[in-house]
Homo-oligomer: A and B are copies of this chain.
Amino acid sequence: MINPTIELLKSHRSIRKFTDQPIEQDVLHELIRAGQGAATSSFLQGTTVIQVTRPEVRARIAELAGNQSYIIDAPEYLVFCADVRRSSQCCEMHGEDATEGMTEQFIIATVDVALMAQNVVIAAESMGLGICYIGAIRNNPALTSELLQLPHGVYPVFGLCLGYPDQDPEIKPRLPVSVVLKKDVYDDAEDLDSITDYDAHIREYYRTRTSNNKAVSWSEQMSGLLSRESRPHMRDFLAQRGFTMR
């Protein structure tokens, strides 16, 4: 049942330290082509990828993302953007008016981006590359959009660092399958017990892993994450860029 592709999918961990070995441009193109193979809602193909090569732009983006140095050091840094501009312009080509501010367009473009990016990631990892997604691109999406000259109808969903790994971190244990897969209805009667066990497992993982040890459980992390406001600017930013309504 298990095959090398499934082994690969289960062996992912974020890589934040890379060797100096560059990624050839034809390798990058191959990764993008593999990314494009993913399903796309209504054939939208709603992703544009910006390859950020200018050191001063990388430095600025790293600063906006809370000084994550691997954004500067990674051989490649890609910004994955949701793009309904390209498809909206097709309306003009055919004498139609494009609609704007639809939550649904926002969802299909955002999902398109994630599906394509995950294909790029799997392709990269199958070649021995390592990756790290950067959600902190949304710390200041307006300035990022300015730096990358993103037009109206395009928004940066996340960044992606790519390169050959210069570290070998452990795989982080995931929630039990029983918690994430439900039969017919959402029944979480036993989840609290499962999460308590999982908390102990995660606490042990953080305590014993080879670097960046800490003393925290999963539910403590989630409590910290979900109890504070996160990027409240996103709502207005998305509305300004033609995604969703205020």
Chain A 161-182 against B: per-residue CB contact (8 Å), 1 yes, 0 no?
0000000000110110101111
Cβ-neighbour of A219 out of B94, B157, B223 (below 8 A): B94
Indicate whether A184 sits within 8 Å of B223 (C-beta atoms), given known contacts A37-B10, A41-B133: no
A181 to chain B, nearest CB (A): 5
Is A135 interfacial (CB 8 A cutoff)?
Answer: yes
- A123 on the B face (CB < 8 A): yes
Contact with B along A11-29 (1 / 0, CB 8 A): 1101000000000001111
Whether A200 is near chain B, meaning CB under 8 Å from some CB there, is no
In the bound complex, do residue B148 and residue A185 qualify as a contact, i.e. CB atoms below 8 Å apart?
A: yes
**Interface presence of A9 (CB below 8 A):** yes
Considering the complex, give the chain B residue whose CB is closest to the CB of A187. B149
Whether A71 is near chain B, meaning CB under 8 Å from some CB there, is: no
Q: Which one of B47, B110, B182, B218 lies within 8 Å of A51 (CB-CB)?
A: B182
- In angstroms, Cα B221 to Cα A43, docked, is 8
A22-59: CB near B (< 8 Å → 1, else 0) gives: 00001111101111111101111101111111100100
